[in-house]
Amino acid sequence: MMQFEYKVEGGDFTNAGNASSEVKKILKKLNVSPKITRRVVVALYEAEVNIVAHAYRGDIIVEIDTEKIRIQLNDEGPGIDSIEQAMTEGFSTASEQVREMGFGAGMGLPNINRNADELNITSEIGKGTNLEIITYLNKEN
């Protein structure tokens, strides 16, 4: 198993996407199929932007073995009020400014969900949110 760690700063849109780009490079080197790579990267990018847009800071831990890719994103931030609502298509808590930049146009969690084989969310108001995104490698779709 291999493990990689990245840090994300809240409010730093310039560097949002760094972790996804790094992970993409790794998956290409590991000969993971382009389709799966794309799903992982899209889900991770979305999750990364969520932290930048809403939280103060966060950590990303990526674990890769020959069966799956497991990504954990732990942030310190306001937390999610209603996970159910946040999972609804079209719902976004992103501020006007964030939306103008083309980020978080209501695509956040549902989009992550669509690109993950498993998505687990836990959140505590006032503390932060933990996301677990799992993608299986031998499930070509």
Partner 1 sequence: MDQPFFFHALKVDDKACIGCSHCMNACPTEAIRIWNGKAVIDDNKCVDCGECFRVCQVNAIYVEDNDFEQIYRFKYRVALFPAVFVGQFPEEIKVSQIYSELHKIGFTHLFEVERAVEILNESIVDYQENKENELPIISSFCPAIIRLIQVKFPSLVDNILRLGTPSDIAAHFYKQKLIDEGIPVNEIGIFYITPCAAKIAAIKNPVGEEKSIVDGAINLNRLFNKVYRNIKQATEDVLISQATELFSYEVLWTLTKGESSRVKGRALAIDGINSVMEFLEKVENREVHNIDYLECRACKEGCAGGILNPQNRFLTVERLNKRVSLNLKKNKQFSSSGIVNYKEYLNEKMILDKLVPRSMMMLDSDMALAMKKMVKAQKIEAELPGIDCGACGAPSCKALSEDIVKGDATLSHCVFVQNVLMQNGEINMETAFAIIDKIWGEHKVVKGSIKSGK
Interface residue list for partner 1 (CB under 8 A): 2, 17, 20-21, 24-26, 28-32, 34-35, 37-38, 41-42, 45-46, 64-66, 102, 105, 137
Shortest Å distance, C-beta 125 to partner 1 = 29
- Residues 6 or more apart whose CB falls under 8 angstroms from that of 102 comprise none
Name the CA dihedral angle for 9, 56, 54, 34, rounded to a multiple of 10 degrees. Answer: 30
Residue closest to 45 by CA, chosen among 6, 97, 76: 6
Shortest Å distance, C-beta 108 to partner 1 = 12
Nearer to partner 1, 102 or 126 (CB): 102
Nearer to partner 1, 12 or 81 (CB): 12
Shortest Å distance, C-beta 115 to partner 1 = 9
3: β partners: 63
Nearer to partner 1, 42 or 121 (CB): 42
131: β partners: 73, 121
